[in-house]
Structure 1
Amino acid sequence: MSRQIALLRGINVGGRNKFPMAQQREVFAALGHKDVTVLLQTGNIVFADPGTPPGETARAIEARIADELGFPVPVLVRTRDELAAAVAANPFPQAEAEPKTLHVTFLSAEPARIAPLEALDTGAYVPDRFRLAGRELYLWCPNGIGRSRLAEAVSRARLGVTATARNWNTVTKLLALADA
């Protein structure tokens, strides 16, 4: 069985879209996934899968969550190897010393519309930087994401794909769980 990682968007944030960890495990087990591990309560699930394509897995999870909870939850799924490749492709290795300053936004597909990102005057946001690499957008905010004007600008960019972000600590912990 291969390992997959589901990234759920917008659950248990600000008291909205509640989806407790125990229920997350139950939903994944009911879908036939084995060795289900939930990291944090915000929708980071590592599980064993018989090799179902990630897009198909995501659609099945989304449908089950909508049935169980009564509201839609966008789900992105990466294989263990895809997540490892995203970690290896980090364009800001110097940020790994302060992992809370580095974030990865996972995208459902490579965006066809990148003009909103290209239009950003990146010099106006120094020292913050970003880089789009396929289905991942890396954002490095050395002074913290909470005060970053670039983080706000990037999050407003309409790329025409579903996106969900995780900090570097979470990304590397998910990879470690997938390797366990």
Structure 2
Amino acid sequence: MVHLCLLRGINVSGHNIIKMEALKTTLEAIGFQNVQTYIQSGNVFVDSEEENAAAVGFKIKQEIFKAFGHEVPVVVIGKTDLETCLKNNPFLKEPAADTKKLYVAFVSTVLRSDSINDLKMSQVKPDEASVDGNKIYIKYAVGAGKTRFDQKYIEKKLNVTATIRNWNTVTQLLKMYEEF
């Protein structure tokens, strides 16, 4: 079964540096097959007999700590998660949607339907968000680099592990998933 593992916080601003080739070799050495990475920010496809996504994520997290000494949260998502992003992102339905301002936060658990209230969006206006299962669709007013509504904010308000990807990355990852 193919899993997409989103590693949070590697190769960002000189912290938690992991070369993708070294990561690939490490994951292959512990039994994952067809390991493929996409860009340096921690998007890794693995093929495994293990069907449980959480078990795959835990195994990868442990191995990264052993091999590289970094405590790296891992969120594992399926192909249907990415397909749902394309269908359900409410910000894509807006006229003249600017995909450069669209992001998706993937979280470690399915959120309650009223989780949007817990995010206290009035504190991060004019940024906008919409909750959908284990995803939060985000539309930044200015950009991801100039907001308080980041992964740390989401994790603190919802008590989850979260990692954010821009819209271009989400669409590229789905294309890669379709090639498996």
TM-score range with shorter-chain normalisation?
Answer: 0.7 to 0.9
More contact order relative to length (CA 8 Å, sep ≥ 6) = 1
Label 1:26 to 1:47 Cα distance change in 2 as closer, same or farther (>3 A).
same
- Alpha-carbon distance change, 106 to 152 in structure 1, aligned in 2, over 3 angstroms: closer
Amino acid at match of 1:120: M
In structure 2, the CA distance between the partners of 1:13 and 1:125, relative to structure 1 (3 Å rule), is same
Q: Does the Cα contact within 8 Å between 2:111 and 2:132 map onto a contact in 1?
A: no
Give 1:10's aligned amino acid. Answer: G
5+ residue gaps, structure 2: none
Query: Is the partner of 1:17 in helix, strand or coil?
Result: coil
Between the aligned partners of 2:118 and 2:108, the Cα distance in structure 1 is 17
Cα distance between partner residues in 2 of 1:66 and 1:32: 17
Contact 2:58 2:74 in 1 (8 A): yes
1:155 pairs, out of 149, 153, 164, with: 153
Counterpart CA distance in 1 for 2:152 and 2:129 is: 8
Of residues 55-64 and 134-143 in structure 1, the stretch that sits farther from structure 2 once superposed is 134-143
The CA deviation at 1:159 is 0.9
Structure 2 match to 1:40:
39
Shift of 1:92: 1.3
TM-score (norm 2): 0.84
- How far the C-alpha of 1:167 sits from its partner, in A, is 0.3
2:111, 2:131 within 8 Å by CA — same for their partners in 1?
no
| Cα distance in structure 2, aligned partners of 1:75 and 1:136 | 15
Task: Give the C-alpha shift of residue 14 in structure 1.
Answer: 1.0
1:82, distance to aligned residue in structure 2 (A): 2.6
Deviations 1:134-166 (A, max 9, x none): 1111111253333345x3598365211101100
- The corresponding residue for 1:101 is 101
Structure 1, residues 60-80: CA drift from partner, whole Å, max 9, x if none? 101111111122111011122
4+ residue runs over 6 A deviation: none
Residues 105 and 165 of structure 2 are in contact (CA less than 8 Å); yes or no, is this contact kept in structure 1?
A: yes
**1:71 pairs with 2:70:** yes
8 A Cα contact 1:46 1:174, kept in partner: no
Counterpart residue number, 2:125: 125
TM-score, reference length from structure 1: 0.84
For this pair of structures, how many residues does the alignment match? 175
Contact between 1:3 and 1:48, CA under 8 Å: does it hold in 2? Answer: yes
Contact 2:151 2:164 in 1 (8 A): no
Distance in 1, matches of 2:144 and 2:152, equals 12
* Counterpart amino acid of residue 153 in structure 2: S
How far off its partner does 1:100 sit? 1.9
